[in-house]
Structure 1
Amino acid sequence: MRVRWLGWAGMEIEAEGESVVIDLLGRPEGVLEGTPLSAPLPKVTRPRAEGDVIAGLCTHLHRDHTDAGALAAALRPGAEVLHPQSFGGDDHENLWTLKADAELDAYKLPRRAMALWETTTIGPFTIAAVPAVDAVGDPQVHWAVEAGGKRVIHLGDSMFHGYWWRAAHRYGPFDAVLTPINGPAVCFPHCQPPSPLPASLDARHAALAARLLGAKAAIPMHYDGFHVDGFYDTRPDELSRFLDAAAGETYEVLTPRLGEEVTI
């Protein structure tokens, strides 16, 4: 199995000549255009299997993790987009998922809403939707992916929670844990009053999550991204903070550069 970092939370996983992508992002600017949060995102790159990817996995329907245009370009004709099931609710509750959801429909991409703990097989990949916890209460999953006897789990931009042991029991141990590390504090208009706690795994949380999941290796992602004062506040030196936090752990830390792949 080969894992390639595509920028932000985007990953391409290749096994037996086939590829899936997770949280693919194809537009480094404009994801939040027309809002007070409009800001450039980090550099991204395209999947190596552009146009022939057999599945697109989205941990949640926020537009920096679900980019319908990028998925349409990447996927093989007829390939499905997998994402978590809706929680229901009104437009206020779903403010941050409505646009990505509508864009998936506009591109006429085949879709499959996965229930928590649901497992499916696509090509050589066995894919499971593992419970995660989103900072604003939107549906989110981790994706556990197995192929050729190797197992990885992609943590999206989940907050710290209590599913780690159950996930490790069902789908682990994991050869690689792909983990967010930036831990921003967020203040969004539809989620008031705001919380000062990390809205996704920060360096310390990520290092611990990888341990609890039984990681053989941890691959940091979801860092060096956007910062919007008062709305999405991050701390500097995110990668250095994670390397320090993981220094005493028994797992290996792999830090591929943009577009670089590692063999699991």
Structure 2
Amino acid sequence: MRLTRIGHSCHLLEIGGRTLLTDPWFTVTPTYDPGERVALTVDQLPELDGILVTHEHYDHCDLDALGSRLGVPLIAPHTVVARARNLGFRDVRELAAGDETRLGDVTVTATPGLHGVPEVTYVIQGGGRTVFFGGDTLKIPELDELPDRFGPFDLALLPINGLCVRPAGDRQVVMDATEAAQLAGALRARIAVPHHYAFTSGRLGDLLITKSRREPVAFAEAARRLAPQTEVRLLLPGVPLTA
């Protein structure tokens, strides 16, 4: 199993002989900036066997950038399906929590998520490995129960910045570093990689719309206390992890 973080929540995951792309985001704008370099362009991506999208927000669903990959199976919740088909994706698979699909010998199961819009998370299984991918969900009790069905996890990809929406009374819409560490412990994750922490809404957006904590070290510190069995790996974009 090999993981390369491209930036934000966008990863390349090689598992069970298949290569998957999670929550694509390649196009930077003044109000949507990953806050870190984007390690690969779409043209630099390898051949893909599947694209996983957790929800419709632009920083997780940059479908316009993927015009050269319209033949790749796209797995997404119902809120993304119509747009993907209108853009020309030819194999769009709608999953709700509890549904699953196969990409060769790899099984992708949609699991619960909670965010400002409808969101799913994913469990990916292949080659004897089990991976949890949370795009930018809050921590909810249903996620703690995943090991009852899937067993312990080899890898957990977890958002950690605790993003809050200022105009909504600082309503939190993404789990924070402590909650992510608690989830890593509940999942019995062997390795955890944090993501969704460097993001910025631009200077004015950060002042008026969003606020978050951007230090991934906070997750590593929390995991030492709350998930001592989990090895935390802080991945720079483009640096692969083999596990």
TM-score range, shorter chain: 0.7 to 0.9
Residue 57 of structure 2: which of 55, 62, 69 is its match? 62
Residue 107 of structure 1: which of 87, 93, 97 is its match? 87
Counterpart of 2:33 in structure 1 is 40
Query: 1:8-47 maps to which residues of 2 (within 5 A)?
Result: 8-29=8-29, 38-42=31-35, 43-46=37-40
Residue 203 of structure 1: which of 174, 177, 183 is its match? 177
Q: Say which SS state the counterpart of residue 60 (structure 2) adopts.
A: coil
Q: Number of matched residues? A: 234
How far is 1:172 from its partner?
2.9
Counterpart of 1:147 in structure 2 is 126
Residue 241 of structure 1: which of 215, 218, 229 is its match? 218
Quick one: structure 1 residues 48 and 165, their matched pair in 2 at CA, closer, same or farther if it must change by over 3 Å? farther
Deviates more, 1:147-156 or 1:164-173: 164-173
Q: Say which SS state the counterpart of residue 210 (structure 1) adopts.
A: helix
Counterpart of 1:258 in structure 2 is 237
Counterpart of 1:173 in structure 2 is 152
Deviates more, 1:77-86 or 1:209-218: 77-86
TM-score, normalised to structure 1, is: 0.81
After superposition, the C-alpha distances for 1:22-61 in whole angstroms (9 at most, x for unaligned) are 101111225xxxxxxx243332122797262111100111
Quick one: structure 1 residues 48 and 71, their matched pair in 2 at CA, closer, same or farther if it must change by over 3 Å? closer
Structure with the higher fraction of residues in helix conformation: 2
- Identity of aligned pairs, percent? 27
Quick one: structure 1 residues 39 and 114, their matched pair in 2 at CA, closer, same or farther if it must change by over 3 Å? closer
Distance 1:121 1:207 in 2: 29
Q: Say which SS state the counterpart of residue 64 (structure 1) adopts.
A: helix
- Say what the alpha-carbon RMSD is for the aligned residues: 2.2
TM-score, normalised to structure 2, is: 0.88
How far is 1:16 from its partner?
4.8
CA contact (8 A) 1:27 1:44 kept: no
Q: Say which SS state the counterpart of residue 3 (structure 1) adopts.
A: strand
Distance 2:122 2:61 in 1: 14
Could you list the runs of 5+ residues in structure 1 that have no partner in the other structure? 31-37, 87-96, 189-193
How far is 1:208 from its partner?
0.4
How far is 1:156 from its partner?
0.7
CA contact (8 A) 2:18 2:103 kept: no
How far is 1:15 from its partner?
2.9
How far is 1:260 from its partner?
1.2
Q: Say which SS state the counterpart of residue 115 (structure 1) adopts.
A: coil
User: Is the aligned partner of 1:120 residue 2:105?
Assistant: no
How far is 1:150 from its partner?
0.6
Could you list the runs of 5+ residues in structure 2 that have no partner in the other structure? none
CA contact (8 A) 1:3 1:11 kept: yes
Counterpart of 2:112 in structure 1 is 131
Counterpart of 1:213 in structure 2 is 187
Counterpart of 1:231 in structure 2 is 209
Off by >4 Å, runs of 4+ in structure 1: none
CA contact (8 A) 2:112 2:120 kept: yes
How far is 1:126 from its partner?
0.8
Distance 1:72 1:224 in 2: 26
Distance 2:43 2:125 in 1: 20
Deviates more, 1:225-234 or 1:150-159: 225-234
Quick one: structure 1 residues 250 and 51, their matched pair in 2 at CA, closer, same or farther if it must change by over 3 Å? closer
